[in-house]
Amino acid sequence: MARILIVDDQPHLREFFAQELTDEGHKVVGIGDAESARRYIENSKPDLVLLDLYLNGFEGWNVLQDIKHKDPQTRVLIVTAYDSYANDPRVSQADGYWVKSFVDFDKLKRKISDILERKPDSRFEEIKIEGAPLVGGIIMHGPIGR
């Protein structure tokens, strides 16, 4: 399956996500800080990065920008506890956006599968928030850049 990097400063979330995704057959690595994540991505070229925005402040935005600057084909799914960033223009650099939820983790697994099945240069233009904040996920559809 896929090589997935989880970048989140909360160890229990990294462990939970890693276990769930490993059970799906993916090879998963969890990292808790931005600098280690940058080094790992540069050396290992994961198929997908699950990126929390809140790392030592909001350094996750800088990590996203660095990833896409160095290799625009690297797929990044923003995984955050905040639904308020869904309309931030910087989100367009990512390949998806998901609000952390343990209630509907299967939705995250489906989103990961969708991202991995798409061509690497495929992007999103429509953002639709499903469910209540911090409970449902955010689903993005359709290519960007015409």
The 10s digit of each residue's pLDDT in 12-21 is 999 999 999 9
Which two structure tokens, joined as six digits, stand for 93?
């650099």
pLDDT at 88 exceeding the cut of 60: yes
Average pLDDT, the chain: 81
Confidence class for position 116, pLDDT limits 50, 70, 90:
very high
Average pLDDT, integer, range 123-138: 37
Question: Taking the model in full, what pTM does it have?
Answer: 0.78
pLDDT digits (tens, 9 = 90+) for 19-49: 999 999 999 999 999 999 999 999 999 999 9
More confident residue, 26 or 87: 26
Q: Are 60 and 34 in contact (CB under 8 A)?
A: yes
| 44 vs 118, higher pLDDT | 44
Strands (E), 13-144: 27-31, 48-51, 75-80, 96-99, 126-129, 138-141
Taking residues 92-116, what's their average pLDDT?
88
Q: Higher pLDDT residue, 59 or 28?
A: 28
Other Cβ atoms closer than 10 A to 116? 17
pLDDT of residue 135: 30
Q: Which of 32, 7, 25, 20 lies closest to 102 in space, CA to CA? A: 20
Q: Is the pLDDT of residue 65 over 90?
A: yes
Question: Which domains does the chain carry?
Answer: 3-141 (3.40.50.2300)
| Cβ 144 vs Cβ 110: under 8 Å | no
pLDDT band for 119, please (50, 70, 90 cuts). Answer: low
